[in-house]
Amino acid sequence: AQSVTQPDIHITVSEGASLELRCNYSYGATPYLFWYVQSPGQGLQLLLKYFSGDTLVQGIKGFEAEFKRSQSSFNLRKPSVHWSDAAEYFCAVEGNYGQNFVFGPGTRLSVLP
Amino acid sequence: DVKVTQSSRYLVKRTGEKVFLECVQDMDHENMFWYRQDPGLGLRLIYFSYDVKMKEKGDIPEGYSVSREKKERFSLILESASTNQTSMYLCASSLGQGNNSPLHFGNGTRLTVT
């Protein structure tokens, strides 16, 4: 069965600092991987996705993520964090043609001015 | 842009009431999903549907049922609401089987059962 871990429950960074959120997955075949962001009281918004090809994928809001098969990881990065990036971030894996999404527990990001 | 609309942002219901949560998507997606989200537990799948009148149980279907009479609408029903069903409920849709498309979420319904 698929599973997703996000080792960091809560991360605090200063505005302008770089950010890396970790995601590790367990899946037997080629995974389809996603990062979502959730602002307080809102639904989840897709940041980026990886299906195949280039292992470094670009998303919205200046985010990128790198798929590393050897490490079963799909870490999310941003070179310079803005105060509006404060939110909860979810990594997800899908392996059944759009019917079986498994989400990680989420990482809450706080941004200091 | 895909739009997934949940009919209510906030609901307050009494224990034992029958509760309907409605979700509509406007992109002709085949798959629709209902999740609940609780602090420390993340997103848990309640039910999903891959076609009209078709449904599959997710990880936590107990106490819930669903209805999909039309492709664009997926309803979650709490037959007899209980306080442990107080939660944030998220509806989502995706393109369909054989298409590796992401989930598109609504803004959620925060349900409080008193």
pLDDT in tens, chain A (113 residues): 778 999 999 999 999 999 999 999 988 777 889 999 999 888 899 999 998 888 999 999 999 999 999 999 999 999 999 999 999 999 999 876 666 788 999 999 999 99
Nearest CA in chain B to A43: B107
pLDDT in tens, B60-105: 999 999 999 999 999 999 999 999 999 999 999 998 766 668 899 9
Spell out which chain B residues touch chain A, with contact meaning CB-CB distance below 8 angstroms. Answer: 4, 31, 33, 40-43, 45, 48, 50, 56, 90, 92, 94-108, 110
Q: Do B102 and A90 touch (CB under 8 A)?
A: no
Nearest CA in chain B to A104: B42
Q: What pLDDT does residue B39 have? A: 86
Q: Do B43 and A90 touch (CB under 8 A)?
A: yes
Instruction: Give the count of beta carbons closer than 10 Å to the beta carbon of residue A100.
Output: 16
Structure tokens at B74: 């997926």
A contacts of B50 (beta carbons < 8 Å):
99
Closest of A27, A21, A28 to residue A7, by C-alpha = A21
B contacts of A53 (beta carbons < 8 Å):
none
Question: Is B76:B23 a contact under the CB 8 Å cutoff?
Answer: yes
Q: What pLDDT does residue A27 have? A: 82
Q: Which residue has the higher pLDDT, B89 or B41?
A: B89
Q: What pLDDT does residue A12 have? A: 97
Q: Do A42 and B40 touch (CB under 8 A)?
A: no
A contacts of B95 (beta carbons < 8 Å):
98
Spell out which chain A residues touch chain B, with contact meaning CB-CB distance below 8 angstroms. Answer: 32, 34, 36, 41-46, 49, 51, 90, 92, 94, 97-99, 101, 103-106
Average pLDDT over residues B43-66: 94
Q: What pLDDT does residue B97 have? A: 65
Per-residue b or e along B3-38, where b marks 16 or more CB atoms closer than 10 Å to that residue's CB: ebebeeeebebeeeeebebbbbbeeebbbbbbbbbe
Per-residue b or e along A9-45, where b marks 16 or more CB atoms closer than 10 Å to that residue's CB: eebebeeeeebebbbbbebeeebbbbbbbbeeebbbe
Q: What pLDDT does residue A97 have? A: 62
Structure tokens at A47: 């940041």
Q: What pLDDT does residue B41 have? A: 84
Residue whose token pair is 């195949």:
A52
Among partner residues B4, B102, B107, which is closest to A42 by beta-carbon distance?
B107
Q: Do B42 and A103 touch (CB under 8 A)?
A: yes
Q: What pLDDT does residue B40 have? A: 80
* Alpha-carbon span B1 to A103, nearest angstrom: 23
CA atoms within 13 A on the CB side of B43: 33
DSSP H/E element including B60 = none
Choose the mutation target among B5, B8, B37 for the interface with A, i.e. most A CBs under 10 Å: B37
* Alpha-carbon span B5 to B83, nearest angstrom: 25
DSSP H/E element including B100 = none
Question: Is A75:A66 a contact under the CB 8 Å cutoff?
Answer: yes
Q: What pLDDT does residue A42 have? A: 86
